[in-house]
Amino acid sequence: MVFRSPGDDHGVMTDSQWVPLSGSLRPALAEAEVLGPLDADATVTATVVLRRRAELDVAALSEPLAPEEFADRYGASADDLDLVRTVLTDAGLTVTDAHAGSRRVSVRGPARAMTAAFKTELNRVRYGETGEFAARSGELQVPAELGDVVVAVLGLDERPQARAMFRRHKKAAAKGYTPDQVGQLYGFPAGTDGTGQTVAVIELGGGYKPEDLTKYFSGLKITEPKVTAAGVDGGKNAPTGDPNSADGEVALDIEVIGALAPGAAQIVYFAPNTDQGFLDAVSTAVHASPTPVAVSISWGQSEDQWTPQARSAMDQAFADAAALGVTVCCASGDNGSADGQTDGAQHVDFPASSPHALACGGTKLDGTPPSTVNSETVWNTAGGGATGGGVSDAFPVPDYQKSAGVPTRAGDGKPGRGVPDVAGNADPATGYQVLVDGQQIVVGGTSAVSPLWSALLARLAQSAGRGFGLVHSKLYAGVGAGKAQPGFRDVTEGSNGAYSAAAGWDACTGLGTPDGAALQKLLGGKAS
């Protein structure tokens, strides 16, 4: 068979001149109505991820790297970038951006050129309340000369990739805590407020109203933090006016971070809810200037709902972050040990399951502010959600967890990365008072725990004078099965379905909830 690329002037290529792109196989979207082929002239975008110059072993780095040094050592080479530009331009695509440090090349072009370049078909589909969008199925291919250079091609498919991990308390009279009260109960270190630090926040929908933030922080008598919205891939701060929409997630993230670390600047990256948008938002945040101390991610999806190439690309973006001194905090999910899947198996949420992410699980916190914790158990409310956690099917047990007593996966007995690493208050019944679209509501979910830990890390970094990157090596130092870990309050009661809490690390709350003052000492901070 002979393939003629778009516009006969680009020449003729045979099937042997393409190679399969490993990990790109994508199933058709179940229950979606196929409306027909995407218009050949419709504009389509993609993010092409390139190989590294050299293999990156974050654990072997003694100090964070400056962005320029990182790009020179572990980014894409100039030769690889030039080759990708040339080949894809010859295929009728336009290269709109190229970033050596994050190894990404952004391309756009008509659907006919994109489908020809990557040997795929694009259809218009209708899917439930999501509406109509472009989708692909099957495996991608790349021109043979790029076979060793390109490791992922994301985009071409607009299906929603992730869900927000927040839950509104059902009772209108629910009181909850203010975020700063939770910080007091967890002993966040005195004399710190995150000054001099930047926290990046990833959002895949919704938006915030500046007047809500002004009113919220004024009500708490907390100095309003500097919050900046940044658009990625056409995303923007676009509040819907509905507090039950993604607006609830956006407000929760900003207000928890702002109440706990008001001195830290926040940059909120808005991107489309696709695998391409998600990766581009994270990579943009990680490689931004100034380098953030933490990235807060409260969006995710069961590991099996990601293509292997997308999982790998995101995990490696998190490895970039760690090498640059950035800690990525990810919500572990709100649907228990099955992560909301109905196949009868146990699943963990990604990107929390990345070994380069600080996975954040959830508890039910009964406390009397400012300093009395009466009890704390695993968050698991009948019909109201439960903390995600378990054993990864995609990533092996990382070195830092090998002595932690991570069990084999419930159901099939296979080993893997244990989720979560840490925990915090997440039960909507003991949730956080936030202001969303002019309404005061109480919200919970592991969505609240990721910004809580991001804010804590900003304060600890202020105290220590540096960021922590892959902080796991210090948090897990000396860990042993069944042994409580310094810097944490061990949570030993409750379950999330297939896994139960126990002394030491467990697949519900990880190492436990934070003891801020103890973590300050552990991470080299100076007590005020």
Instruction: Give me the catalytic one of 80, 158, 253, 334.
Output: 253
Secondary structure E strands in 90-149: 94-99, 104-110, 122-127, 131-136, 141-143
Residue 72: which residues within 8 A CB-CB, separation 6 or more?
Answer: 53
Residue 291 has a CB neighbour count (10 Å cut-off) of 19
- Catalytic-residue membership of 447: yes
- DSSP track, 323-361: HTTPEEEEE--SBGGGTT--SSS---EETTTSTTEEEEE
Cβ(260)–Cβ(281) under 8 Å? no
Residue 85 has a CB neighbour count (10 Å cut-off) of 16
Q: Tell me how far the alpha carbon of residue 288 is from its chain's centroid.
A: 16
For residue 48, count CB atoms less than 10 angstroms from its CB and return exposed for 0-12, middle for 13-18, buried for 19 or more.
buried
Cα dihedral 250/251/254/260 (nearest 10)? -140
Cα dihedral 322/273/104/97 (nearest 10)? -130
Residue 410: which residues within 8 A CB-CB, separation 6 or more?
Answer: 337, 346, 390, 391, 498, 499
Cα 396 from Cα 392, distance rounded (Å): 7
Handedness of CA 86, 273, 416, 65 (dihedral sign): positive
Provide the CB-side half-sphere exposure for 468 (13 A, CA).
31
- Catalytic-residue membership of 249: yes
Q: What angle do CA 429, 445, 359 make, to 5 degrees?
A: 140
Judged by DSSP in three states, 274 sits in coil
**Closest Cα partner for 225 from 43, 454, 524, 464?**
454
Instruction: Give me the catalytic one of 337, 447, 454, 495.
Output: 447
Cβ(441)–Cβ(379) under 8 Å? no
**Closest Cα partner for 186 from 358, 361, 366, 371?**
371
List, by residue number, the catalytic residues: 249, 253, 447
